[in-house]
Amino acid sequence: MENFDFHVTTDIRFGKDRLDELPQVLNAFGKNVLLVYGGGSIKKSGLYDKLYEQFNRNDNNIVELAGVDPNPRIETVQQGVQLCKQNAIDVVLPVGGGSVIDCSKAIAASVFVSGDLWENFVLPKNYTGPALPIVTVLTLAATGSEMNGTCVISNMDAQIKLGVHGESLLPKVSFLDPTNTFSVNSYQTAAGSADILSHLMENYFNATPGTEVQDEIAEGLMKTVIKYLPIALEKPDDYTARANLMWASTLALNGLIGKGKKGSWSCHAMEHELSAFYDITHGVGLAMITPRWMAHILDEDTIPKFQRFAQEIWDVEEEEPKRAAEVGIQKLYEFFASCGIPMTLPEVGIQREENFEEMAQCAVAHSSISNQGFVPLHEEDVASIYRAC
Ligand code: NZQ
Ligand code: ZN
């Protein structure tokens, strides 16, 4: 296990009926609040009205930034920064999924960034400056953005999607009420869970030896997602299922299972190019890529971990190691398919193979998969994985 720091200070308020704690939480930072949300799901679900009940009794000055897109854009970040500056915003309050939270993190930090935000905030990837305080109300179990210091921002003109990390981007407080996810449709529920599983698998399939704590926790979380996703799909208002998916999403990417390991993630690097070129749903891209990536890198060195994955996660009884590994990978594919996730690129409208070479170049250029992946991936590997989708 590698040396690491683990200092994740987000104050988590988990559970139902806790929104009346919001005024006190906001007041610790000030009265001027930038409320950030997406395309309107919070209005349909009634959450928006519940928030205003709290704002009204607290005399908050609310400025709204609505319409954050899935795969949030740099232009929206710029808009948010202007609103913060014009209205002397004290605290940024994203209410939504990972896209809304990520956009808010970028806004909160970019208020302190001068010049071009893409050049000076996103491209450097590591942000060491200050940020306005961020309080989140999560409505979709997926990214873990509610308890980490990462945001992922897209520049659609340049067809680039990049993650930025910074300590000051860590939310101060996050409200995790599973009932706020009852209204998530089956497509987004499945995609979000695929994202959670991917965060776990990206850390699990890693070459750092001696990380049993992280691997055992990851296995427990994977089994939890695999158990509860079908239940949430069958019964969207099953509190236990939604609660377990929500907490799994947070723990999968708050550092708990990734710390102590070195190396870089492979599937996310490849998916980010799919989203940058075709604007597809993050979790869907990951579900497609992951089993193909696994099949591509299966060899003598990787078989033992894939065999363990097959036995621990999928109860595969096959004893021949390579065969067991292959069955495990097939089970993962079948699980995603059984949850209604489109598992081929043509199903999400992507036919044009001519972009695959360019996307492969970008995936390698924008990440360190060619030297730090679980198995190093070069452009031809990535293109071949895209073609297999
Ligand atoms: O925009 P609204 O109307 O809110 O609708 C959203 C959106 O259409 C909808 N939704 C959210 N909560 C809902 C709901 N619909 C009904 N009821 C609710 N309660 O779901 C759709 C997708 O939302 P989005 O926020 O885009 O999904 P997700 O949470 O999966 O976030 C994806 C983004 O996060 C990035 C991804 O790349 C992508 O840009 N990631 C962020 C990470 C991080 N910050 O650590 C790590 C991840 O690996 C990931 O890259
Ligand atoms: Zn992800």
Q: Tell me how far the alpha carbon of residue 98 lies from the centroid of ligand 1, in angstroms.
A: 4
Query: Distance between CA 229 and CA 251 in Å, rounded?
Result: 16
Which segments in the chain show pLDDT lower than 70?
none
For 356, phi then psi, to 5°, come to -60, -40
Find the helix or strand (DSSP H, E) in which 94 lies: strand 91-96
189, exposed or middle or buried, with CB in 10 Å at 0-12, 13-18, 19+?
Answer: buried
Give residue 339's pLDDT.
Answer: 98
SS (HEC) of 122-152: HCCCECCCCCCCEEEEECCCCCCHHHCCEEE
Q: Which of 152, 167, 183 to mutate to test the pocket of ligand 1 (most atoms within 8 A of CB)?
A: 152
Q: Tell me how far the alpha carbon of residue 380 lies from the centroid of ligand 2, in angstroms.
A: 23
Q: Tell me how far the alpha carbon of residue 152 lies from the centroid of ligand 2, in angstroms.
A: 10
Query: Distance between CA 172 and CA 153 in Å, rounded?
Result: 21
User: Which atom of ligand 1 is closest in space to residue 198's alpha carbon?
Assistant: 48
Query: Distance between CA 170 and CA 386 in Å, rounded?
Result: 33
Q: Tell me how far the alpha carbon of residue 116 lies from the centroid of ligand 1, in angstroms.
A: 26
Give residue 54's pLDDT.
Answer: 97
Give residue 354's pLDDT.
Answer: 79
ipTM exceeding the 0.85 mark: yes
Q: Find the ligand nearest to 198 CA.
A: 2
User: In this structure, are strands 91-96 and 135-138 parallel, antiparallel, or unpaired?
Assistant: parallel
Give residue 187's pLDDT.
Answer: 98
With beta carbons less than 8 A apart as the criterion, state whether 356 and 247 touch. Answer: no
Q: Find the ligand nearest to 148 CA.
A: 1
User: Which atom of ligand 1 is closest in space to residue 70's alpha carbon?
Assistant: 26
pTM: 0.98
Residue with tokens 């550092």: 255
Q: Which of 73, 105, 146, 188 to mutate to test the pocket of ligand 1 (most atoms within 8 A of CB)?
A: 188
54, exposed or middle or buried, with CB in 10 Å at 0-12, 13-18, 19+?
Answer: middle
| CA distances, 139 to each of 10, 192, 238, 336 (Å) | 17, 11, 15, 22
User: Which atom of ligand 1 is closest in space to residue 199's alpha carbon?
Assistant: 48
Give residue 344's pLDDT.
Answer: 96
Percent of the chain at pLDDT exceeding 70: 100
Give residue 353's pLDDT.
Answer: 79
Give residue 106's pLDDT.
Answer: 98
Query: Distance between CA 214 and CA 252 in Å, rounded?
Result: 10
Give residue 270's pLDDT.
Answer: 97
With beta carbons less than 8 A apart as the criterion, state whether 362 and 270 touch. Answer: no
Give residue 260's pLDDT.
Answer: 98
Q: Tell me how far the alpha carbon of residue 313 lies from the centroid of ligand 1, in angstroms.
A: 26
Give residue 205's pLDDT.
Answer: 98
Distance of alpha carbon 224 from the chain centroid = 17
